[in-house]
Amino acid sequence: MKPSHIEAQARIQTPLGALTVAASSKGVAGVWFDAQSHHPGPLSAPLDATHPQIVGAVLALDDYFKGRRPVRLPVLDAEGTLFQQAVWRVLGEIAVGDTTTYGEIAHRIGRSAAVRAVGVAVGRNPISILVPCHRVIGRDGSLTGYAGGLPRKQALLAHEGWSGSSPRRLSSNAERSAPLPCRR
């Protein structure tokens, strides 16, 4: 699904490949690797690397890849259902270097039986890296799917110092991503 509220886009290069960054008037609306699952395809918004929301996203991604902590996140404005938004908010609570499971996310949003639906919502996250869906792993500690591809997921987790051990619970005092406003 193409986001309907995008007014600008830019292309940037990262250590893991090219990204398209999209913005609305309210915030960052998308960050996608080329050819990733659920990529919206060509966007009709003009290329504008000077758009304030895109500048904020590029700076945050630069900080992330250079290992600067904490990363100052721009305002996020992802389009999704109420359920997706709830899942994406929990993703934003996973600290750098931590991981969690689909079941833990389902529990956190009060929908313990909705583990598969959580998996679908995680996979549909339109803001790669900044909304850290790569930090969700299998309950047994295995790396599960990632829209950008498992090699990228492995690289992102390694960049954050993840050791490949079992998931760690969300902690209350760790670095967090920004909350995600709801846009349906």
Q: Per the domain annotation, does 16 fall within a domain?
A: yes
- pTM score, two decimals? 0.87
Q: What values do phi and psi take at 47, rounded to 5?
A: -70, 125
Give me the number of domains the chain comprises.
2
pLDDT of residue 167: 60
Residue 133 inside a domain? The answer is yes
Same domain, 144 and 96: yes
Q: How far is CA 81 from CA 33, 62, 144, in A?
A: 22, 29, 23
Q: Do 59 and 113 fall into the same domain?
A: no
Q: Kindly state whether residue 28 falls inside one of the protein's structural domains.
A: yes
User: Percent of the chain at pLDDT above 70?
Assistant: 88
Copy the structure tokens of residue 57. 């996203």
**Any domain includes 178:** no
Is 43 contained in some domain?
yes
Asked whether 96 and 69 are in contact (CB, 8 A), the reply is yes
User: Token digits for 113?
Assistant: 């039986």
Residues annotated as part of the active site: 133
Q: Within a domain: residue 13?
A: yes
CATH number at residue 103: 1.10.10.10
Q: In this structure, is residue 154 part of a structural domain?
A: yes
Give tens-digit pLDDT for 104-138: 999 999 999 999 999 999 999 999 999 999 999 99
**What pLDDT, on the 0 to 100 scale, is given for residue 2?**
67
CA distance 134 to 97: 11
CA angle 123, 130, 111 (to 5 degrees): 45
152 falls within a domain: yes
* Residues spanned by the domain of 86: 82-159
Per-residue pLDDT for the chain (184 aa), expressed as one digit of tens each?
566 789 999 999 999 999 999 999 999 999 999 989 989 989 999 999 999 999 999 999 999 999 998 888 999 999 999 999 999 999 999 999 899 999 999 999 999 999 999 999 999 999 999 999 999 999 998 999 899 999 999 999 999 998 776 565 554 444 444 444 444 4
Cβ–Cβ under 8 Å, residues 63 and 71 = yes
